[in-house]
Structures are given as structure tokens and as C-alpha cells.
Amino acid sequence: MTVLKLNKWNIAIGDGQPLVVIAGLNVLEDQKLAFDVARHLKAVTSELGLPYIFKASFDKANRSSIKSYRGPGLEKGLEMLAAVKAEFNVPIATDLHEVYQAEPVAAVADIVQIPAFLCRQTDLVVAAARATHKAGGLLHVKKAQFLAPWDCKNIVSKIKEATDGADFTILCERGSSFGYNNLIVDMLALGEMKKLGVPVTIDATHAVQLPGADPRTGGASTGGRRDGVSVIAKAAVAAGADGVFLEFHPDPDKALCDPLSCLPLDGAAKLLATLKAIKAAAA
């Protein structure tokens, strides 16, 4: 399998490499909160010797309700992410939703992310691939909830065809639709996607979502099973995940997006230490 590198940051992901931590906020709320979360997670990962990438979304375009909080938007959001990068000297991961966002996002983000629902949108995938490759970043593509893991070969092929065969794609498992308002994670999917010659991460946060099933809003927002995040993360690392994608908040119940799926920030050290140990044991 290809080992991918962010040379500027001395980070590598793939077989034989340390567990990569892509973690932060679900969505940007304000600059202070972004700084607080980045500061804490950088300190934790530095102590553990784990490579760290700060993640936060500038816009959550896929919302259950038009009234749901979406974020500060492209311009202000990228300014906030750039400030985090400058203040804490950490690489940045964020997602995009429109073709026109590819160039400005790739100029700030070291890892550009394609949301699961958009992973088959050819124009978006091609634009993001070309912009990210030009900027020297990595492309993190979430497997759609409706795709079999082996069907991701078409996504990988599109990216290579758009960039003259370049290898810079990471695939992400985030659960598959299972009946109504539910997702499951097939741990065998991680190995199937790795057969495509790419590193694979686990998005343990979104894998515990219950789409359209938040009892507090009568289905106008997504529910979640916060206690399941660590279970899925630990199982996936044992199954061979090269990285973990996690979202934290100092007060999860007050998070402005997907509060039922994010973890308390003060629990990051214990969980990441456990994941590091599992990675070492499974090597």
C-alpha cells in the first residue's frame, strides 16, 4: 500500500506509520473555541507522539433543517483555520461542497475532505483533486453511506485520472445506511478499501449518527450515540485503520452541530492513549 506524506509537516500515513489523528470541531463556532480545542489536542497528541491535524468545517451544507447552524462560511471560516495553523503550527483539514471552493480551500487546508454524500460528484472530485494535488496536500474522501467499500475503486480512479496518476488519496469509513435512521460499521470494509492501495481512516464520530433522529427536535436534526464513538474507534484501529477522525467540544451538549455525536474535550487524552496502544498491539 502507498504511504502518503505531508512533507512540510513530517507526517506520513499508511502501513507501518504511527496512527494519524485528524481531530477538532465539527464546525467552526468562534475563533476562541477553535484555539482552545487546537491547543488542547496538540498538547495531548504531542505528549503521546502522535501526528496531529486540526479539523473543523467552515460550512455544514448537509443539514436536516434550513434553520440548523451551518458555520461562518467560506471566507471567514478559512481565515479562522489559517489563524489556527499560524498560531499552533499544525496542518489543517476541512471539507468543501462546491467546485468553486476547491482552489481557496486547498490553499489553506493540507487535507481537503470530500463529504460522504458528495463522493460520487465527478466535477467536485476532479476539482478538489486537481487543486489539492497542485497545492501539495492530501485528499480525504469519505465513503458514502450507500456505497460498498470495493466500489470506492471508481473514486480512486477518478482522482488518478484527473491528476496524471498521482497517489494522494485517503479513504474514510463512516458507516453504512442500515434500515431507517441508523448506520453500521463493517470492520471488514477497512481491509477492502486498503486493497485499493490507499490509506484508510475511521470517522468514528459520524459513524454513530442517527440521521434525522434527534428526539429533542422531532427529527429536525441528527441524533447520535456518543458512547459508541470510542467503541468504533478502538475496533477500527484494531482492524487496521491508519488514522482516526474525531470531533470534540468542551461542552458537547452545547455544540452547535451534531452535539449527540461529539466527545468531551477532556476525554481526548485517555481515548487517544488507548488507540495508540491498540495500534501498537495490532501491528
Residues identified as active-site: 26, 60, 258
Question: For residue 98, which of 152, 64, 62 has the smallest C-alpha distance?
Answer: 62
Q: Is the dihedral of CA 52, 39, 273, 175 positive or negative?
A: negative
Between CA 229 and CA 212 the distance in angstroms is 18
Question: For residue 225, which of 190, 185, 189, 191 has the smallest C-alpha distance?
Answer: 185
Between CA 90 and CA 24 the distance in angstroms is 12
Q: β-strands 111-114, 169-173: how paired?
A: unpaired
Query: Which residue in this structure is represented by grid cell 464513538?
Result: 229
What separation in angstroms does the CA of 237 have from each of 92, 110, 275, 282? 22, 23, 7, 8
Query: Which residue in this structure is represented by grid cell 499508511?
Result: 14
